Amino acid sequence: MKQIDERDLMFSRINYKKGQENYKDYYTRNPDKKEIDDYLRTLPGLSNEKSSLFHKFGSNLIDSTFNLISDINHLAEGKKNPKIIPLDKNIATKQIKNLGLYFGARSIGITKLSKEILYSHRGRNEKIYGEKIELNHKNLIVFSIEMDKKFINRAPFSEQTIEVAQAYLKAEIIALQIAYYIRQLGYEARAHIDGNYLVYLPLAAQKAGLGEFGNINIIVTKDYGPRIRFAAISTNLPLNYDLPIDFGLKNLCSICNKCVTNCIGRAFSKDGFKQEKCFEIWSKIGTDCGICMNSCPLSQPLSDELRKDITSTNYISKDLAKEIIKYSNDNYNKRNFNSNELNLLSEINY
């Protein structure tokens, strides 16, 4: 698999401004993306007061949380303790996984830090734009954070994005805590957190056995669907690896397609996922939408019997997939949308 260049992600491209060197460099090399990107930059953007779903409390809470994330993500790297505490690989693996779950992760896996997981170049930070990524760590710890379904079921309103931001913050704190701990033991460790990634997290999560790629081009898990966020820690601490899993997601996705049909940005086509179409909706409504996550049957409550069947076999057969879709259609129709505001903040009225 070819390495992904972080410069090509919309989160990077949207920040290239006319007159800056990164703007000139990127569109000299990618002239086909200039017109669409210039258009997207004219739209209000996430949490902007001119966006259609802006709210003076909710949108500012989103901004304040992401500002906090940005202010502390430089802590991803640090010096290790010169005194190494020897650890058996089996004990270290068990300890790191136990700590991750104790700190609040829902699942945690470990994979080899192969070249294809690394981005090829930095793109989101103007000061280090275009910097080739080199990382000599051998192992990658990946973990998931669950997002509360009552918030996700408010998609595309602000409560959904409030929960997304909160999940990124929780993931950042856990990743930093694990990285600091590993460095205290005398081993190198780097946290890979929002705005400061060196790795392509969806692929890392798949290789670490946390889920499978679904139709919406993100990782879907057996227990929470796509209602999760990830972070990671790369390290030279000796660890055992987990293996990728196959829990039958393709059997479900092949007959479901709710994420595709419910997408208000029409970001899915025969050619695959179009990040520009997705980002256009974000930029217009002022939230990160989340309807695709909310639409997945696995992100919603299922009957106890269906959950038992999924858990007992660890696999969604074609027949079981049909039962899941039927239950979802009977109980949630197109998707499980909560039309009632959550009143998270005082005086909030959507």
Could you give the CA distance from residue 221 to residue 244 in angstroms, rounded to a whole number? 12
List 228's β-bridge partners, or say none: 146
List 145's β-bridge partners, or say none: 229
> What are the contacts of 17-23 at 24+ separation with CB within 8 A?
17/41, 20/126, 21/129, 22/126, 22/129, 22/130
SS3 assignment, position 160: helix
In this prediction, residue 349 carries a pLDDT of 52
In this prediction, residue 268 carries a pLDDT of 87
Nearest to 29 by CA among 121, 128, 133, 125: 121
Distances (CA, A) of 122 to 43, 118, 141, 199: 25, 10, 21, 10
DSSP secondary structure letter of residue 76: G
Per residue in 137-147, pLDDT (tens digit) is 999 999 999 99
| Number of neighbours of residue 149 by Cβ within 10 angstroms | 19
Does the pLDDT of residue 346 top 70, yes or no?
no
Residue showing tokens 């856990």 = 174
Per residue in 210-223, pLDDT (tens digit) is 999 998 889 999 99
| Number of neighbours of residue 277 by Cβ within 10 angstroms | 16
In this prediction, residue 340 carries a pLDDT of 86
Q: 52-91 burial by CB neighbour count: b if 16+ within 10 A, else e?
A: ebbbeebbebbeebbeebeebbeebeeebeeeeeebeeee
Per residue in 98-108, pLDDT (tens digit) is 999 999 999 99
In this prediction, residue 342 carries a pLDDT of 82
Query: How many Cα atoms occupy the beta-carbon half-sphere of 236 within 13 Å?
Result: 10
Structure pTM?
A: 0.96
Mean pLDDT of 35-64: 96
In this prediction, residue 256 carries a pLDDT of 95
**Two tokens, residue 145:** 């954070």
What value does the mean pLDDT of the chain take? Answer: 95
**Two tokens, residue 64:** 């304040």
Pairing between β-strand 228-235 and β-strand 189-192 as defined by DSSP bridges: antiparallel
